[in-house]
Structure 1
């Protein structure tokens, strides 16, 4: 299992200057390679290397590995651009934005991430230093720090490719590490998790991860973005970029905390985790206009991915189930009727009369489908409790 570990570099002023010069050289070279690729129509890594490898290696004092990573970075960027064009991210064919993207070469900021492999970067975990290639020669003894878990992962796991990043005046390495996955436990039932807007998550035990405070935070950020976009000055655009990064970090932190709590509870009770399939959630959900902004501004896929990798690290089975009609079906008697849900919070079964929180009822149905999906016939697990 691969994980990405972030560690903070603590370079001296001289080391920082060398790292900055390296990033500038690599990304300037990448912009030149992108221009050549657009001009010639050659985007494949191997074919592009034939045209530009010798030139950028000599012009920008790049090593052999650095030059190859620059070319691959450009090739991957165009592959991503092509996928986004196919998906309609830049508008319909013929639109002004799409024509601009299709005709102009990709540009790279001076501080865009630069990949490093094992030939360009080595770790000295005991001393907490790295030896890293730069355009000014090999820097040895560059100190780094991080959390206890991050340092342990670097020291005990096999490290792969890393990215050198300069952000907010600080230097970071994002390292890919290989960690061993424990064997999955044989679950005693499943903990169902329903994701939504009013409540970010609601599990089948009745634990509510409320979205009131978070939704208020997002509404404030939306109002601020509108004011900054309307102002349109250079300083407003800089502030807008900083606020967007801050909001993204806040959302990631909230999703991490929720996922960690859910996985910890599943480990404590010996259960697996059942979640609804998140693919296509924006296409199949029908919401009123104010709720659409909330739906599109929160990364449900990120929360699902956090649950996935945290569950795998803990040896907890995680299954995705069909979410259709989970909010309309009574977990007690199985009766399905759209009138069972008179409003967002309330579930009132028209058949047996049970009254419950709508998200709790949906989470219980998801837990039951998790048992069935895991294989209830061959693996007789205990089913989730019904609403009393």
Structure 2
């Protein structure tokens, strides 16, 4: 079951519309396979990079070992959900889905940047960023970008189903010019199956971390072309993560449903309350369950974090997400799909309120 599509609405994004690629030195044209290949590389000072090679996101030897992806809900759970739907009010469910869908389609005057971070790795930060990017791409009719700002072997390309990556965030920072059109920019990005674009942080190798200057250059330039940019940040207190949380329009803090996870996230929320631009008011917490058994009472954890005034959205355990690999929306559990949609709507609602 895929996410429901709403009737087509007028394009809400007032950014530079796509135009035919020009013969400028910066233009990049995709091959028939869809892999961006740079035909003409910009020349001039400050361009130390040669055209990078395309690198697979998963070693071919491991790709052969991938099994069939699991469904998020077991057969027994799907059966129970079908029975409950027969006895519940379908009109109320449709009305709620329509309301959330319209929130996700609301116009934005300038590109909105939503930063996703956490207090440590392994809590579902990248998975949450991928879910947000896929949700925005599904509902919106304007360009959506997933930007990876964690160069330490980040897995956002894998989660979004990219087979290979080429240009990185740091490399693109040296190439961007104000005269570029959307068609020029997308030649350096990875097209995501199902829609949207991806800019990875690295080519799957250990390298220097993304620097603050490159991050600022890329995000400030690309928000001209994309209605929504979802940034998968490094974990706090990394410098780029702190910068991203300080400069983004909307913020999502991913917190594991454990005592130490909730406690550490509360410290982060108290820090956000001290930042300018009403940072805490534009923050949503994604409370994630990494196992089917709750390690901490959900109501208690939610109440503790809500004392700061933020909205909490619980992302439940999902077999499909827990298995790793590319996220296929149609295989997500019913509750997971609903939670991801609500999280995206809450994050965007706060992001559009920031001027």
Q: Tell whether the structures are fold-level matches, with TM greater than 0.5.
A: no
Larger strand proportion of the pair? 1
TM-score (norm 1): 0.24
Give the structure with the larger helix fraction: 1
